[in-house]
Structure 1
Amino acid sequence: MELSRLSTDALASFAAFADRLNFTRAAEDLHISQPALHVKIRKLAETLGRPLYTRHGRRIALTPAGEAVARLARDLDARVAAFLADLDGTAPSRLPVLAAGEGAYLYLLGDAVRHGVRLINGDRARTLTAVRTGRADLGVAVLDVLPSDLATVPLAAYPQALAVPDDHPLAARRSLALADLAGASLAVPPPSGPHRVALERALRAAEVPWTAAVEAEGWPLLLHFVSLRAGLAVVNGCVVPPPGVVLREIIDLPAVPYYAVHLPGRGDDPLVAGLLTRIRTALSTGSPPCTSRSPSTSTPPPRPSGTC
């Protein structure tokens, strides 16, 4: 491998591609043609002697080597910015960057993202990639398996709950078991989603028959279909149901743990530490619809009351 052939231009181009995971959009950001970007990334991969991304149908994912290259590119960019600021006699500064999914932004993070933070929205895989590549200082996601290459900080855990119309027979119950869902028509995420996979596994293990009434992505759309009476939905207990819909905890499903993740060694970084402080403050002062519990505890979550 000829490291001398690595260029800052190639690294910057790859960083733009890593942000988008889309050749067309990355090329537009760089103001170059898509074939030119393909050539840059292909030559960079050849120089390093390993693939930098994989393609699964239309979905592109970075390899571990690709994540490392993107992280290097952003680190070099930060060093250059600091050097130029030092020459000008100014203090280098930038806003912290947070990556999280739609549900975390809507129902968990609250005032932590009100101002002074750059935000990235993506599913769990994209959130972890944003942290691994250095694009985000901190990520927030539901994690059932903790990544070995990232530092993880438990934030909160919420019971899983069934969203039902408030006049549905199951709404009269304070809590439910999976067996109560027998024969239910459910609004569920697409088959490849982690929530759908885990839910199907739990229902199958409990020998509970059910049917998929509608498939949709995101808690707001699933809750909308519940309000339209298209089906019931199993959701995280931190969501806020629309008018006419209530949540009932499902006691034999595991709690859903939210974690903050960052690169190892960055726990004392002011950008990371400041974001964590803001998020913890938002969690301690907010009023989620269900009582949360720490992911590290083994005691059952408190039983919800009211509409939760």
Structure 2
Amino acid sequence: MRASADALASFAVFADHLNFTRAAEELRISQPALHVKVRKLAESLGRPLYRRDGRKLVLTADGEAVARFARDHDERLAHFLSEFAGAAQARPVVLAAGQGAYLYLLGDTIRTMLTDQPTRLRLINCDHRQMLAAVRSGRAHVGVSVLDVLPDDLSVAELATFPQVLIVPTTHRLARRRSVTLRDLAGESLVVPPAHRPQRVLLEQGLRSASADWTVAVEAEGWPLITHFVTLGVGLAIVNGCVPVPRGFTAKPVTDLPSVTYHVVHQPEAVNDPRVATLLSHFPW
């Protein structure tokens, strides 16, 4: 079993894009040549490294492991060569998270890291599925997201938990309540995430169980746009409790919706890396 450094480096680039055309362009080789490199690497290892899922390519578990090894190998080699040349530079630690985590949880962490060591932090903005793939493949060292199912192949820790809350104007009929139920939303128009998003699915299931008739005021992607529509009077919205409440509005816990927990994930051995340990020490535990 043999795997050349060139094949590993090429596969790491392919794993970043999961697209042969874009990866070949970055490597400045032809697409057929990249196909051959990836195919021969898989053949030499005796395992499929990626599969087709509909119109997308996804890494297999073995592909994630190879990509992680390839990136680590490339990183160590680059560090050795720069150190050998007398120009060693600190390698960056990579954090993958979604919009909510960056906006409402990780601001101080990022600010501190950039102040202490400006070149030692790189950020990836992605959803929870992309975050898990990035950590598994070694593209990111640490990930933060709300997770419906906790992965058993990664180290997972709770970062923060928030109730789901209804944002309403202080003049609204529900504003005087200490908390609300989904049944209380009968007849209301709601600003909601696009169909099939996890929060939308959970909300629809809960409202259906509560026999609450409601209407979609507008679909919006991301908490900032959702709350903006609420301030415009388009409708009410249920958001995570970490989302700031606009002036003139109030947030009421929704008692029959579960709390939302943000989790931190990383490879089990990642804590042995001083860069990762430093990043984790700045998290708002």
Calculate percent identity across the aligned residue pairs: 61
* Aligned with 1:62 (options 59, 63, 66): 59
8 Å contact kept, 1:144–1:257: no
* Aligned with 1:208 (options 212, 215, 218): 212
Q: Which residues in structure 2 correspond to 1:98-247 (within 5 Å)?
A: 98-114=95-111, 115=114, 116=118, 117-247=121-251
Measure, in 1, the Cα distance between the counterparts of 2:26 and 2:42: 21
Q: 1:174 to 1:275 in 2, by over 3 A?
A: same
- Look up the match of 1:95: 92
Question: Could you say what secondary structure the match of 2:278 adopts?
Answer: helix
Measure, in 1, the Cα distance between the counterparts of 2:126 and 2:194: 16
* Superposition TM-score, scaled by structure 2 size: 0.87
- Look up the match of 1:51: 48
- Look up the match of 1:296: none
Q: 1:220 to 1:20 in 2, by over 3 A?
A: farther
**Number of residue-to-residue matches in the alignment:** 278
| Structure 1: tracts of 5 or more residues without a match | 284-308
Measure, in 2, the Cα distance between the counterparts of 1:254 and 1:40: 47
Give the C-alpha shift of residue 177 in structure 1: 1.2
Q: 1:219 to 1:38 in 2, by over 3 A?
A: farther
Measure, in 2, the Cα distance between the counterparts of 1:28 and 1:165: 52
| Structure 2: tracts of 5 or more residues without a match | none
Output one character per residue of 1:25-50: Cα deviation in whole Å (capped at 9) or x when no partner.
Answer: 33332233444434433443344444
Asked whether 1:40 is paired with 2:37, we answer yes
8 Å contact kept, 2:192–2:220: yes
Asked whether 1:260 is paired with 2:264, we answer yes
* Superposition TM-score, scaled by structure 1 size: 0.81
Q: Moved runs in structure 1, 4+ residues, more than 6 A?
A: none
Q: 1:175 to 1:275 in 2, by over 3 A?
A: same
Output one character per residue of 1:106-147: Cα deviation in whole Å (capped at 9) or x when no partner.
Answer: 011121112132111100011111111111111111123211
Give the aligned residue type for 1:101.
Answer: G
- Calculate the aligned-residue CA RMSD, in Å: 2.3
Measure, in 2, the Cα distance between the counterparts of 1:209 and 1:40: 56
Give the C-alpha shift of residue 85 in structure 1: 4.2
* Aligned with 1:74 (options 66, 71, 74): 71
Give the C-alpha shift of residue 70 in structure 1: 0.7
Give the aligned residue type for 1:219.
Answer: W
Measure, in 1, the Cα distance between the counterparts of 2:183 and 2:232: 24
Measure, in 1, the Cα distance between the counterparts of 2:136 and 2:205: 29
